[in-house]
Structure 1
C-alpha cells in the first residue's frame, strides 16, 4: 500500500469481516445534515433525533452497548450481515458506521 507523506489515512481500511464480536461505532445526524458535528466540533444533532435513532436501531434488533453523552454516538453489536450493514448505512439518521477493531488486526497495540 502506497501512503503519501502527510496523508490522513495511514492504515488500510478494515474489512467488515474483521469486526470485533460484531461491534460498531454509530454516529447520528439530522436527516437534512451531512454530519452530527460541524467543522468546529460542535454537536449539530438534537437529543430527540439521537433518541429516535436509538429506538429505531433497537427495533431493528441492534444491541446498544454504550451510549455517549458528549458525542451523538453509540457502540452497538450488530450481525455481520452485508444486507443489514447496507440497511444501516442507508438509514437517514446515521452519520457513520464503523467497525470496532483492535490493534491486533495490524499487530500493533493501541494505547489510550
Structure 2
C-alpha cells in the first residue's frame, strides 16, 4: 500500500479528520472508531511505515515519540497509570491498516493472556 492510499496518512495530512486527542511534531493520537475499551486511542507516527518493527529500524526516535504521546494521552484521559499498549504486526495478528499504530487501551480491567 502506498502512503497515498493509506487511511492513517490521510488522517495525518488532514484529508480525513479523525477525533484527535493529542499530537506532537512526529505523532498523531486519535480515538479508535471501533473501541475495545472505554479509552481506545491509536497513536501513529506521521511518517508512513508498515509496522512497529519497521518504525524501530528506520526511526527509533519516532517510535519513542509514539510511546511518549500514548503516555501523555493516558494521563490526559485520567487512566492513572493503568493502561495497555499494543502493536499488532501483520494481518494474522489483527493489523488491518498497514501503517504502524499503537493501541492505547484503558478504563477497564485487562485480562491476560489477551485474546
Q: Same fold (TM over 0.5)?
A: no
Q: Which TM bucket (shorter chain)?
A: 0.3 to 0.5
Q: Which has the higher helix share?
A: 2
TM-score of the superposition, structure 2-length normalised? 0.31
TM-score of the superposition, structure 1-length normalised? 0.32
| Larger CA Rg, structure 1 vs 2 | 1
